[in-house]
Amino acid sequence: MNRNTIMTSKFKWQVTLVWLALMIGFIWFIAKFDLDMAYVWEKLPFLAGLHLSPDGFIQGVPLTIYVCVIAMLASVILGLLAALGRLSLNPLAYGISTFYTSFFRGTPLLLQVLLIYQGLPQIGPIPTAIPSGIIALALCYGAYLSEIFRSAIVAIPRGQWEAAMALGLKKHQTFLKVILPQSMKVAIPPGMAMFIAMLKDSSLVSVMGLWEIMFLAQSYGRSAYRYMEMLITAAVIYWILSFLLELIQARLEKVFHGGKTR
Amino acid sequence: MQYKTLQTLLLLAGSVTISHASVAGETLDRIKERGELIGVMDQAYPPYSFLNDKNEMDGMDVDLTKEFARRLGVKAKIETPAWEVTTAGNWRGRWDICICSMTPDAQRARSLDFVTHYYSSPAVLVTSVNGNPLTKLADMEGKKIAAQQGGSYERYLNQTLKMEGYGAKPVTYPFKAVQVMPYGSEDLEYQDLSLGAGKRIDGLVSNLVTANERISKMPGKFKIVGEPLFEDPNWVAIDKGDKEWRDTVVKIFDDMRKDGTLQKITVKWIGTDISR
């Protein structure tokens, strides 16, 4: 029994049914809260970012996406560099890399955000809120990704290195052309899980007063005493965004598996 | 010559790194140059500051900040970082003024300068109508009482609140030790209290104005117990060390008191004049 044979239309249809049943259960649970739906519909356009904030900047969903996309790109680069450092025999690279991953995985993200936002001004530059948030998210998630990348690189059998070298490829060529593409296949699912986590952790940047999804939800909720309404609305928005990331993950897996599903 | 340059550079570097306090008048110069006064306040502390239906910051503190900026001849811009970030001080020119319902105390005065009193708000004990409600202040003993984390109500419940020297009466504690329940937001406190006293918490400490708002928005849920616990003086705060800016702020607020603008704005939002 492999995935190809069970992914029949019957199977898919049954899965859809299970989803629907669970969805109805969730909606029933939420309905028990006796929520003020009128308020939800009134505030949804703001949370979705269809309106600019009073100072003419993006708010809500677009701001969250903006912060996350840049932080994701930066964290992939950081993670890859840290993974290479961890695999290198150079004591400096190894030391920096292990210290970096240890610190950024071992301390709360909120503290990291505040260290950058409140701490950097003590030694010079005064970063504004958005760069501070992006830097904190990128550093934190880069540390997590580095371990994912490292394990993915190590997961590729030694024989691949030897075969490539035997064909006359240089070490860096082997890494870039043979090992990295194969290890990507291994790294995509856990890497994407990290991005989904980052999406929701981005709400922490609201401590600097950025009007992202969670900030608006909390502000509206507190101002009108409709806290649950707004938090549930924010939850649904985050879920939809996470679902989009899952779709991207499915596409990427197809690409790196060369059309072959195992 | 080279030695001189080096000396100047070192001096410059020193002045940049060591000067913790702003130079006199620096704040005012910055505001004039920007054409904008940046006021900082809590994102959701109705009716003092909150996001209104038009998605703009609104409330008593917002109106006062705008009026203050108008008198300086600049526009007002409102920023809303987390309360802990604001109270940490060390604003480094990010923000100019905090007309933001802040209660001074010795601890906060180490990181911010408190300039002038602008209103008082009585702190009250709120309990629920259902469950085992508290009936008098002394009932708090051993009970679970919620208060906003890091706020003056939490310190009051821990009996460590010191408000001497800011025009406040010394605080008295008509109860023995209570179980303090620090919360991140008042919403969660009220939500937990609405389950009935004795479920998660028995009561909470909040200010009279917001407590009355909650009672009118959710009728039949909450009630206020006894007399106010103490009067919370609310002062205008600025970053430490700019004397000239401090004098400017005092002068503008004195003018607003004299011509009745301060009273008018408090009456507009609260219904009574709380500016004394």
Q: What is the pLDDT of residues A4-15, one digit of tens each?
A: 556 678 899 999
Which of the 8 DSSP states describes residue B115? Answer: E
- pLDDT for res A6: 60
Give the 3-state secondary structure of B161-174. CCCCCCCCCCCCCC
User: Which is higher by pLDDT, B23 or A254?
Assistant: A254
Tell me the percentage of chain A whose pLDDT exceeds 70.
95
Picking from B211, B90, B54, the residue whose alpha carbon sits closest to that of residue B148 is B211
pLDDT band at B225 (very low <50, low <70, confident <90, very high): very high
pLDDT at B6 over 60: no
- pLDDT for res A86: 95
- pLDDT for res A146: 97
Pairwise CA distance, residues B156 & B229, whole Å: 9
pLDDT at A203 over 50: yes
Q: In this complex, which of B57, B92, B190 lies closest to A121 when CB atoms are compared?
A: B92
Q: Which two tokens stand for residue B114?
A: 């408190």
Q: Is the CA virtual torsion B127, B133, B139, B144 positive or negative?
A: negative
The per-residue pLDDT of chain B, averaged, comes to 87
Contact criterion met (CB < 8 Å) for B52 and A223:
yes
- pLDDT for res B13: 42
pLDDT at A158 over 60: yes
Report the chain A residue with the minimal C-alpha distance to residue B186.
Answer: A222
- In this prediction, residues A35-47 reach a mean pLDDT of 91
Domains of chain A: 39-255 (1.10.3720.10)
- pLDDT for res A260: 53
Q: Is the CA virtual torsion A40, A46, A48, A50 positive or negative?
A: positive
- pLDDT for res A3: 59
pLDDT at B77 over 70: yes
Best of A214, A219, A226, A231 to mutate (most B CBs within 10 Å, chain B): A219
Contact criterion met (CB < 8 Å) for B188 and A215:
no
Torsion, Cα of A195, A197, A199, A205 (10° steps): -120
Give the 3-state secondary structure of A117-129. HHHHHHHCCCCCH
Cα dist from B233 to A114, B103, B150, whole Å: 29, 6, 16
CA distance B228 to chain A (A): 23
Chain B residues within 8 A of A218 when measuring between CB atoms: 43-44, 185
pTM: 0.79
- In this prediction, residues A225-245 reach a mean pLDDT of 92
- In this prediction, residues A22-47 reach a mean pLDDT of 91
Contact criterion met (CB < 8 Å) for B85 and A114:
yes
Pairwise CA distance, residues A173 & A227, whole Å: 55
User: B85-130 pLDDT, tens per residue?
Assistant: 898 888 989 999 999 999 887 878 888 999 999 999 899 999 999 9
Question: 3-state DSSP call for residue B64?
Answer: helix
Pairwise CA distance, residues A13 & A11, whole Å: 5
- Helices marked H in chain A: 3-6, 9-31, 37-47, 61-87, 91-106, 109-114, 120-123, 129-155, 158-166, 171-173, 180-201, 213-224, 227-256
Pairwise CA distance, residues A202 & A132, whole Å: 12
Chain B residues within 8 A of A46 when measuring between CB atoms: 55
- In this prediction, residues A19-34 reach a mean pLDDT of 92
Q: In this complex, which of B56, B82, B217 lies closest to A225 when CB atoms are compared?
A: B217
Question: 3-state DSSP call for residue B78?
Answer: strand
- In this prediction, residues B191-211 reach a mean pLDDT of 91
- In this prediction, residues B229-251 reach a mean pLDDT of 94
User: Which is higher by pLDDT, B7 or B265?
Assistant: B265
